[in-house]
């Protein structure tokens, strides 16, 4: 199955745009991992046309909070509707399993023993300072962590999170995570 793991960072914050709708935010960088060729890549806003064929060919786009953040922001740059492509939002799956949200950092620390290298607000500050390489490194790390959390869940049917000072386990249903859909859109691929 050709999965594309995706994360984005933005140039601005909800506070700066005065709205809590992600479509008002602007992309600084999009980072992906393509399972088909075991490759990590990054795209600045001006490089997005190179990203569309990759997403269109994917059997699934895997994110952490992508359905409510990454994909709606990315969608405003796309000629079609990315929301119609098959996606797997790990945060949505965690919420289904637990009944509440848990951050990627908490899950990564408890499940993988690794912490995140920053947070999105730091990436915005790096953008303002022109430190694009820092943003790319941070974003690629989030993609790697998302992939490893996904892979752990697929292998074990469970994940862990930090619950105060303790590590808590929970089961997660991965049975539909590799179901394929046949309805692909191709707005950038030749017909």
Task: Give a three-class secondary structure readout of 39-72.
Answer: EEEEEEHHHHHHHHHHHHHCCEEEECCHHHHHHH
Residue 184 has pLDDT above 60, yes or no: no
Selection from 101, 86, 104 nearest residue 7 by Cα: 104
Average the pLDDT over each of 2-6, 55-59, 120-124, 174-178 and give the range with the smallest value: 120-124
Alpha-carbon distances of 137 from 24, 29, 66, rounded to whole Å: 24, 10, 19
- Whether the CB-CB separation of 149 and 33 falls below 8 Å is answered with no
Residue 69 has pLDDT above 90, yes or no: yes
Q: What is the pLDDT of residue 68?
A: 94
Q: How confident is the model at residue 139 (pLDDT cuts 50, 70, 90)?
A: very high
- Whether the CB-CB separation of 12 and 120 falls below 8 Å is answered with no
Computed over every residue of the chain, the mean pLDDT equals 91
pLDDT, tens digit, for every residue of 77-112?
A: 999 999 999 999 999 999 999 999 999 999 999 999
SS3 168: strand
Report the residue count for the chain.
191
Express as a percent the part of the chain with pLDDT over 70. Answer: 93
CATH classification at residue 145:
3.30.420.10
> Is there a domain that residue 13 lies in?
yes
Residue 185 has pLDDT above 70, yes or no: no
> Is there a domain that residue 181 lies in?
no
Selection from 105, 81, 107 nearest residue 93 by Cα: 107
> Is there a domain that residue 61 lies in?
yes
Q: What's the rounded mean pLDDT across residues 155-176? A: 94
> Is there a domain that residue 55 lies in?
yes
Q: What is the pLDDT of residue 183?
A: 54
Query: What is the tally of structural domains in the chain?
Result: 1
- % helix, strand, coil for the chain, step of 5: 45, 20, 35
In whole angstroms, give the CA distance from residue 35 to residue 28: 23
> Is there a domain that residue 189 lies in?
no
> Is there a domain that residue 182 lies in?
no
> Is there a domain that residue 190 lies in?
no
Residue 113 domain boundaries: 3-90+100-171
> Is there a domain that residue 64 lies in?
yes
Q: For helices 90-98 and 132-156, what crossing angle results, to 10°?
A: 50
């Amino acid at each position: 199955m050709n999965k594309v793991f995706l994360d984005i960072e933005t140039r601005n914050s909800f506070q700066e745009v005065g709205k809590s709708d992600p479509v008002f935010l602007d992309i600084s960088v999009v980072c992906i991992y393509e399972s088909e060729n075991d490759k990590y890549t990054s795209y600045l806003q001006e490089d997005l046309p190179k990203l569309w064929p990759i997403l269109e060919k994917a059997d699934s786009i895997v994110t952490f909070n992508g359905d409510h953040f990454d994909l709606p922001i990315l969608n405003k740059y796309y000629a079609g509707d990315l929301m119609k492509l098959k996606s797997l939002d790990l945060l949505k799956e965690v919420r289904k399993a637990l009944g509440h949200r848990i951050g990627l950092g908490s899950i990564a620390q408890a499940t993988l023993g690794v912490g995140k290298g920053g947070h999105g607000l730091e990436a915005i500050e790096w953008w303002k300072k022109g430190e694009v390489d820092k943003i790319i490194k941070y974003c690629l790390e989030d993609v790697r962590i998302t992939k490893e959390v996904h892979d752990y869940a697929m292998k074990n049917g469970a994940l862990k999170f930090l619950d105060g000072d303790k590590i808590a386990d929970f089961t997660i249903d991965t049975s539909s995570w590799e179901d394929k859909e046949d309805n692909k859109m191709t707005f950038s691929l030749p017909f």
